[in-house]
Amino acid sequence: MLSQNDIIRWIKTSATLIAENKDHLTDLDRAIGDADHGNNMDRGFKKVLAQLDGVKEKDIGSILKSVGMALISSVGGAAGPLYGTFFMQAANAVNAKQELSDTEVADFLLAGTHGLINRGKTKPGDKTIVDSLQPAVITLKEHIDAGEDIIEAMRQAVIRAEQGVQETIPLVARKGRASYLGERSAGHQDPGATSAYLILQALLEAIKSH
């Protein structure tokens, strides 16, 4: 079971990993975007952290909703609405819950992923966040449904997310700023898929320290 404290730890660890990788994310975005993904994500998670104290005693759905609203209001480009929608839809799936079973963890991540996909009108292969997020969350769900421990299931999900990041390199972007480059977008790692991997890595670290 994951508690509110575990979710808070996830969000704080996400902010830390984003901050540590800010320059890397910006470098990736410089090749195929506006060179602002790292700074935008770091700014967004700093706003999330500033608001956490006000919601840390609330239910998990309220915590996640606060994260989503902060990201929507502070992260520029496509990432703000997409990640904001991810957390908002995840929040709806666990509304009023004080703790989450392993199955509920997979389910709220799936709900968030579906919301992001619907908002972005994107799919795997478009060279976006979805290319690491969706296969990772599906992997998590499969391993949990098979009865595996949440730590091992999440570890497998993170491995799959990292594979998804690498799989974006040869892809031609079909969405966002990178799509303007056409064939020239091939050969570059997608920054959004990379930040999604970092957020899933943060969840693994939070679960391991549970």
Each residue of 166-200: pLDDT tens digit?
999 998 788 776 666 667 678 899 999 999 999 99
Query: Distance (Å, rounded) from C-alpha 137 to C-alpha 139?
Result: 5
- Encoded tokens for 90: 């995840």
| Residue 99, domain CATH | 1.25.40.340
Average pLDDT, rounded, for the chain: 93
Model pLDDT, residue 179: 65
pTM of the model: 0.96
Q: What confidence tier does 32 reach under pLDDT thresholds 50, 70, 90?
A: confident
Helix axes of 37-52 and 191-208: crossing angle, nearest 10 degrees: 30
Furthest-apart CA atoms within the chain: distance in Å? 49
Containing structural domain, residue 130: 2-208
Task: Note the Cα 18 to chain centre separation in Å.
Answer: 11
Share of the chain above pLDDT 90, in %: 81
Split at pLDDT 50, 70, 90, the class of 61 is very high
Helix axes 191-208, 22-32, angle to 10 degrees: 160
% of the chain beyond a pLDDT of 70 = 97
Reported as type and span, the H/E element at residue 3 is strand 2-3
Residue 92 gets which letter from DSSP? Answer: H
Give the number of domains in the chain: 1
Least confident of 9-23, 49-63, 192-206: 49-63
